[in-house]
Amino acid sequence: MRHRAAWHFRSACHQRNPSIPLTVDVTENVSLYAGVSGSSTNFGSAGFSSFQITSWNIGFQADLYQQNGGTFPTVTLQSTITQSIPNGPLGTTSFNNILEFDYALDSDETRGLLSGFQHTRTDVGNALGRINPNTIAYVGGYYQWPNNWKFTGRVGVQSFEGAQLLTLTSIQPFTQPIVRLDLDRMDDNDNRLFGITAEIMWVPKPAYQLTVRTPLYAVRN
């Protein structure tokens, strides 16, 4: 089963965001995962802040249809619930759903084309704040070398419906491009051993994000 990471909407700042997920392959086509994420943020000349745990998440990924050499692409659904830390009035809960189509160009599925949609809804713990849904449509492709290094590129359009925080701060709706580049080290079963993601988002000004992923796997035999 292919393991693919989601797009995520972030605020306009420079961040380093390691995530530590645990993935369990329930069947060949279905995986469950959970984990925590943390970040260190750069605010200009002040440098990067100390690393802090910022959220936990739980979700699943399922192949609804597999190409297996056919003409119709693999269809994958990924759904994640993320709870920010702290919880309570200052916390947020986000519901992220991705539907992706993967058309492999060879029998080994080492190169192919991608397209998909992501929808994110965020609930704010305090009734004085509101974050409206965010939707991304994207296309891309991937190539995996014989040494199991894999590069994936996606370009898309992000439509954010705006936000209202308290009564003083509002973020206006916008529709802007988004670019994501992934470099992953895979094993022979196409599980990610290590990954680095670079993302550029216009929100509406350009924002840059670098994410390091170090997953842990539990496989049922």
* Amino acid found at 118: Q
Quote the radius of gyration of the chain (alpha carbons, Å): 18
**Dist. CA 11–CA 166, nearest whole Å:** 17
189 close to 195: Cβ distance less than 8 angstroms? no
| Phi and psi torsions of 147, nearest 5° | -85, 10
C-alpha distances (whole Å) from 87 to each of 21, 22, 55, 84, 123 are 20, 22, 9, 6, 12
Query: DSSP alpha helices (H): ranges in 92-140?
Result: none
**Dist. CA 54–CA 13, nearest whole Å:** 15
pLDDT at 127: 65
* Amino acid found at 80: T
Q: Which two tokens stand for residue 178?
A: 């988004």
98 burial level (CB within 10 Å; 0-12, 13-18, 19+): buried
pLDDT in tens, the chain (221 residues): 444 444 433 333 344 555 666 778 888 889 898 888 777 666 566 666 666 778 889 999 999 999 998 999 999 999 999 998 875 556 789 999 999 999 999 988 899 999 999 999 998 876 667 888 999 999 999 999 999 999 999 999 999 988 877 666 678 889 999 999 999 998 887 778 889 999 999 877 888 888 887 766 655 55
